[in-house]
């Protein structure tokens, strides 16, 4: 397979798309100084190469009735591959979990969970998280308000 090296136009396309996935191809092509057809081909190529994972619409959690954000540190009884993989697979089935990371340090996983209220969070804890066999410790921290939330990667070093 031939390796494709992204150029400045490719990175500019990615930068523009990550800030507005709904931008029209015509507008995108104008902003990167290409005609629409080559611009469209570049976007398709970036998708095929795996640079563009998917296109989404970001929704305000509060307006969607999900104002409670909780960060949860989870420590398992045993940090063996089988147990880590089993937990990771289970987390994928919990819609409340927006993000989950395998960590180094004092705990194994860091999760970001959203719920409509505290009772719903308690239900998540009781029915899902604490019901999972193999958890040693759970520490929850409630977000009071978001200070910074970004979805755009900083491409300054590439542009």
> Residue 159 above 80 pLDDT?
no
Which pair of tokens denotes residue 93?
A: 């089935």
Q: What is the b/e burial string over 48-70, where b = at least 16 CB atoms within 10 angstroms of the residue's CB?
A: eeebbeeeeeeeebeeeebebbb
Yes or no: say if 83 and 77 are a contact pair by the CB < 8 Å rule: yes
Residue pLDDT, tens place only, 49-85: 999 999 999 999 999 999 999 999 999 999 899 999 9
Fold of 8-48: Arc Repressor Mutant, subunit A (1.10.10)
> Residue 45 above 60 pLDDT?
yes
| CATH 3.30.70.920 domain extents, the chain | 68-142
Asked whether the whole model's pTM tops 0.85, one would answer yes
The class level of CATH for 68-142 reads: alpha beta
Residue pLDDT, tens place only, 111-136: 999 999 999 999 999 999 999 999 99
Average pLDDT over residues 135-140: 97
Which pair of tokens denotes residue 89?
A: 């697979």
Report the first-to-last Cα separation within the chain, whole angstroms: 26
| Alpha carbon distances (Å) from 106 to 16, 124, 138 | 38, 23, 12
Instruction: Give the list of residues 6+ apart from residue 22 with CB closer than 8 angstroms, or none.
Output: 55, 57
The answer for 146, left when phi > 0, alpha when psi is -120 to 50, beta otherwise, is: beta
What pLDDT sits at residue 17? 97
| CATH 1.10.10.10 domain extents, the chain | 8-48
Question: Rounded CA gap, 102 and 88, in Å?
Answer: 8
φ/ψ of 127, rounded to 5, equals -85, -25
């Amino acid at each position: 397979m031939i390796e494709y090296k992204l150029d400045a136009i490719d990175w500019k396309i990615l930068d523009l798309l990550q800030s507005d996935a709904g931008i029209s191809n015509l507008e995108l092509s104008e902003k990167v100084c290409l005609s629409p057809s080559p611009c469209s081909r570049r976007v398709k190529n970036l998708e095929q190469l795996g640079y563009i994972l998917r296109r989404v619409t970001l929704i305000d959690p509060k307006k969607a009735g999900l104002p409670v954000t909780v960060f949860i540190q989870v420590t398992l009884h045993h940090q063996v591959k089988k147990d880590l993989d089993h937990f990771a697979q289970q987390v994928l089935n919990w819609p409340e979990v927006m993000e989950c990371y395998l960590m180094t340090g004092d705990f194994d996983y860091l999760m970001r969970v959203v719920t409509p209220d505290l009772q719903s969070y308690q239900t998540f804890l009781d029915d899902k998280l604490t019901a999972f066999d193999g958890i040693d410790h759970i520490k929850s921290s409630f977000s009071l308000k978001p200070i910074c939330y970004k979805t755009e990667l900083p491409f300054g070093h590439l542009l």
